[in-house]
Amino acid sequence: MADEKYYVTTPIYYVNDKPHIGHAYTTILADVLARYHRLLGIPTYFLTGTDEHGQKVQQAAEKNGLMPQQQCDQTVVRFQELWKRLEITHDDFIRTTEPRHKVIVQEVLQDLFDRDEIYRADYQGWYCVGCERFFVEKDLVEGNCPECGRKADAIQETNYFFRMSNYQDWLIDYIETHPEFIQPDFRANETLGFLKTKKLQDLCISRPKARLAWGIDLPFDSDFVTYVWFDALLNYITAIGYRRDDVQFNQWWPATHQLIGKDILTTHTVYWPTMLKAMGVPLPKTVFAHGWWLTGRTKMSKSLGNVVNPMEMADRFGVDAFRYFLIAEMTVGQDASFTEEAFVRRYNSDLANDLGNLLSRTVNMLGRYCDGKFPGLGKDALSGAPEKELWAAVQSAVAEMESSIDTMRLNSGLTAVLTAVRKVNQYFEIKQPWTQAKEGKTEAVGITLALAAESLRVCSALLYPVMPEKMSELRSVFGLGKPVLSQLKTFGVIKSGTPVGSPGILFPRVELNNAEATPLPPQPKKEKRGEGAASAKNMSIEPEKPEGIITYDEVMNVKLRTAKVLAAERVEGADKLLKLKIEIGEEKRQLIAGIALYYEPERVIGKTIVVVANLKSAKIRGIESQGMLLCASVGDRLTLITVDEELPSSGAVVK
Ligand code: MSP
């Protein structure tokens, strides 16, 4: 990492509505990047905030019967609370209605006006209210806005314009000679394609107050307010002291990474650089556009009712698991799909099974075979082939994570860490410390467990920026504090004799019943290390029966029965749910199943399915469900478990 500082920004979010998953994603991504850079010891600044002017906010205020400023003050709290909940570590939060921002916007406008970069003119053309953008007639697609497809209005008015068109050739050249400026590459090509095929227009930077009053007054004409984008983009520099504090400004600007969603590419790669050029300010190093979160394959939208609420996800599944899923699941640049099924699958497999299980196995065995203390490493600890191989896998996770931060491929970094975690679980299978212990090979057991713990130390450090809470918990088990990245390549950092704490279950498994994911059970309280802390050797879970494995008796407690589906209908207002009437032997029951996306009601009637018959009944969407049916699911396919041959009656025992 060559740069001596790191400045990362998110878009500033409109306060017309509460935050959604798109806002949460960009902010978590920026947070993860900021945390990695801080760990690397690089001076870091992380800015986020809210975009509080313009038509969208004014309209929301009108709808809610509020003054625009009240609308802002009420909604900004939702963002601030969410960032707190999601453990976001921004250094500043800027609101565009703050005086520190407004004053500078006016100074910039005055300066550009004085230098004839901004001029007044009569405008006749087309305007899209939704996008708040002007278009010439030939840009329209059958009379509609080329960006959002909504109807564009013909308009005629006097306005102020920024001479953006003067910078077209310069901008093309800049983008071509600075390949890092717009990332991923295909987004640079998108902007270039547009710049090379269309004549760049001057940018209308004002709105007559008669039409829109909610904005920053133009300093040279009080009949107008500033166009919301011209105002908003400047937040990236007003927040860090532009025109007020040169020391602070020069310390952070140009920004290293400006993160945006793909829909605001033009404003950030055409308006913003030309504005900066006219102001004589250098351009940010990289504008990075990520893709969109979809619900399944569908765009999220309020009208479809499929918008994921980040606060709810954090409450149901835990903040760190939510952060992990978002970063692991999206290849930055591409769209990604959010479904609860995918969430639960990844959570259970990566976090509950692989990582959580590894921690409890390691701790339990340290308790049982090493008296609850870290055994220390003989000098030959890395001399065996399996040990060498394991440590190499851990080190390749370090290398992959390092390079993935620079290239914004954090999901690959996480994959490499999880691969290393799985390697440790495999290493246990190869070394079988429980057999080593039985055979009295004390030193060998010590090496095996110490290697696992050292691997966990490194993996938890790599995962720390993504899951700060959980990784702190994990690390405290081995007496470790905040990670020190310079120690990642060193073997043997945990001190011999360190008492090993009791972690509780780091990631309890989540069951996704047919309809809805069950919330996480209450997390066991963290045991304090030291006095009074339960020693690991007292823990009841046998290392040979790792987390996620159940006993024969436990299986026998689950009563699986065949059932005949007598009737089926959709549940109103819940597009995933079917209400089934089933028969288990003599008994009739009602069951709510989340299979409506895969089965029309008619297709299930008459089928013999398999149900968990002794599940406590529950209300789903207020309707009673007495049992759970079994399905097989892979990717986006799902099929009911049925019987191979019809039996004389329903209610047969499934064993
Ligand atoms: N206020 C402007 C940005 C001004 S920056 C100087 C704005 N605000 S927004 O609230 O509408 O959107 C903010 C960000 O959320 C954008 O980057 C947008 O791409 C992102 N997302 C909105 N929906 C999204 C998804 N479904 N998925 C991922 N991000 C998406 O635009």
Q: What is the CATH number of the domain that holds 474?
A: 1.10.730.10
Q: What per-residue confidence (pLDDT) applies to 558? A: 81
DSSP code at position 516: S
Q: What is the pLDDT of residues 344-361, one digit of tens each?
A: 999 999 999 999 999 999
Mean pLDDT taken over the chain: 89
State the amino acid at position 3 in one-letter form: D
Q: Examine the domain organization and report whether 387 and 481 are in the same domain.
A: yes
Q: What is the pLDDT of residues 459-511, one digit of tens each?
A: 999 999 999 999 999 999 999 999 988 899 998 899 999 999 988 899 998 87
C-alpha to C-alpha distance for 53 and 47, rounded to whole angstroms: 19
Residue 463's domain spans which residues?
Answer: 339-487
Q: Examine the domain organization and report whether 478 and 344 are in the same domain.
A: yes
307 lines ligand 1 (CB under 6 A): no
Q: Examine the domain organization and report whether 565 and 475 are in the same domain.
A: no
DSSP code at position 507: S
Closest CA to 39 of 484, 595, 545: 484
Q: Do the Cβ atoms of 210 and 159 come closer than 8 Å?
A: no
For residue 113, pLDDT over 70 is answered with: yes
Residue at 424 is within a domain: yes
Closest CA to 454 of 416, 413, 505, 488: 488
pTM attached to this predicted model: 0.79
Q: Examine the domain organization and report whether 476 and 584 are in the same domain.
A: no
Please identify which residue in the block is written with the tokens 């008015």: 157
For residue 524, pLDDT over 50 is answered with: no
Q: Which of 122-131, 198-207, 275-284, 323-332 has the lowest mean pLDDT?
A: 122-131
C-alpha to C-alpha distance for 109 and 280, rounded to whole angstroms: 13
Q: Do the Cβ atoms of 298 and 325 come closer than 8 Å?
A: no
Residue at 455 is within a domain: yes
561 lines ligand 1 (CB under 6 A): no
Q: What is the pLDDT of residues 441-465, one digit of tens each?
A: 999 999 999 999 999 999 999 999 9
Work out the widest C-alpha separation in the chain, in whole angstroms.
91
When pLDDT is averaged across residues 293-318 and rounded to a whole number, the result is 86
**Nearest ligand 1 atom to alpha carbon 291:** 28
Beta-bridge mates of residue 288:
183, 259
Q: For residue 80, count other CB atoms closer than 10 A to its CB.
A: 18
263 lines ligand 1 (CB under 6 A): yes
Q: What is the pLDDT of residues 403-450, one digit of tens each?
A: 999 899 999 999 999 999 999 999 999 999 999 999 999 999 999 999
Q: What per-residue confidence (pLDDT) applies to 601? A: 75
Count of domains forming the chain: 2
Residue 300 alpha carbon to ligand 1 centre in Å: 12
Integer angstrom CA distances of residue 607 from 136, 486, 584 = 60, 60, 12
Closest CA to 214 of 66, 425, 85, 376: 66
Q: What per-residue confidence (pLDDT) applies to 525? A: 34
CATH value at residue 627: 2.40.50.140
Residue 11 alpha carbon to ligand 1 centre in Å: 7
Q: What per-residue confidence (pLDDT) applies to 207? A: 94
Q: What per-residue confidence (pLDDT) applies to 440? A: 93
Integer angstrom CA distances of residue 228 from 14, 216, 231, 310 = 10, 8, 5, 26
**Nearest ligand 1 atom to alpha carbon 23:** 15
Q: Examine the domain organization and report whether 476 and 582 are in the same domain.
A: no
Q: What per-residue confidence (pLDDT) applies to 32? A: 98
Residue 499 alpha carbon to ligand 1 centre in Å: 47
Residue 536 alpha carbon to ligand 1 centre in Å: 47
272 lines ligand 1 (CB under 6 A): no
Sheet of 153-162, strands arranged across: 133-135, 118-128, 153-162, 203-204
Q: Examine the domain organization and report whether 446 and 570 are in the same domain.
A: no
Query: How many Cα atoms are found within 13 Å in the side-chain-facing hemisphere of 23?
Result: 25
Closest CA to 570 of 549, 595, 607, 535: 595
13 lines ligand 1 (CB under 6 A): yes
In the chain, pLDDT over 90 holds for what percent of residues? Answer: 67
Q: Which of 17-21, 207-211, 235-239, 530-534 has the lowest mean pLDDT?
A: 530-534
**Nearest ligand 1 atom to alpha carbon 11:** 5
Q: Which of 16, 17, 18, 26 to mutate to test the pocket of ligand 1 (most atoms within 8 A of CB)?
A: 26
Q: Which of residues 487, 518, 538 is at a domain's end?
A: 487
Q: Examine the domain organization and report whether 448 and 354 are in the same domain.
A: yes
Q: What per-residue confidence (pLDDT) applies to 521? A: 45
Banded pLDDT at 377 (limits 50, 70, 90): confident
Residue at 558 is within a domain: yes
Q: Examine the domain organization and report whether 360 and 457 are in the same domain.
A: yes
Residue 13 alpha carbon to ligand 1 centre in Å: 7
Q: Which tokens is 288 given?
A: 């990075």
Residue at 522 is within a domain: no
Write the CB contacts of 372 (distance below 8 Å, at least 6 apart in sequence): 366, 499, 500, 535, 536, 537
Q: Examine the domain organization and report whether 453 and 573 are in the same domain.
A: no
Q: What per-residue confidence (pLDDT) applies to 596? A: 85
Residue at 615 is within a domain: yes
Please identify which residue in the block is written with the tokens 């986006």: 636
Residue at 168 is within a domain: no
More confident residue, 601 or 569: 569
Q: Do the Cβ atoms of 582 and 609 come closer than 8 Å?
A: yes
15 lines ligand 1 (CB under 6 A): no
Q: Which of 254-263, 385-394, 564-573 has the lowest mean pLDDT?
A: 564-573
**Nearest ligand 1 atom to alpha carbon 293:** 27
232 lines ligand 1 (CB under 6 A): yes
Q: Examine the domain organization and report whether 481 and 576 are in the same domain.
A: no
28 lines ligand 1 (CB under 6 A): no
Beta strands in 513-654 (DSSP E): 560-571, 574-584, 587-593, 608-612, 618-620, 623-625, 628-629, 631-634, 637-640
Q: Examine the domain organization and report whether 466 and 583 are in the same domain.
A: no
Q: Which of 8, 47, 51, 258 to mutate to test the pocket of ligand 1 (most atoms within 8 A of CB)?
A: 51
First vs last C-alpha separation in the chain:
58
Q: Which of 234, 259, 263 to mutate to test the pocket of ligand 1 (most atoms within 8 A of CB)?
A: 263
Q: Which of residues 437, 458, 487 is at a domain's end?
A: 487
Q: Examine the domain organization and report whether 455 and 565 are in the same domain.
A: no
Residue at 469 is within a domain: yes
Q: Which of residues 487, 510, 541 is at a domain's end?
A: 487
Residue at 465 is within a domain: yes
12 lines ligand 1 (CB under 6 A): yes
14 lines ligand 1 (CB under 6 A): yes
HEC profile for 103-125?
HHHHHHHHHHHHCCCEEEEEEEE
Dihedral angle, C-alpha 437, 442, 445, 447, nearest 10 °: 180
Q: For residue 189, count other CB atoms closer than 10 A to its CB.
A: 12
Residue 332 alpha carbon to ligand 1 centre in Å: 15
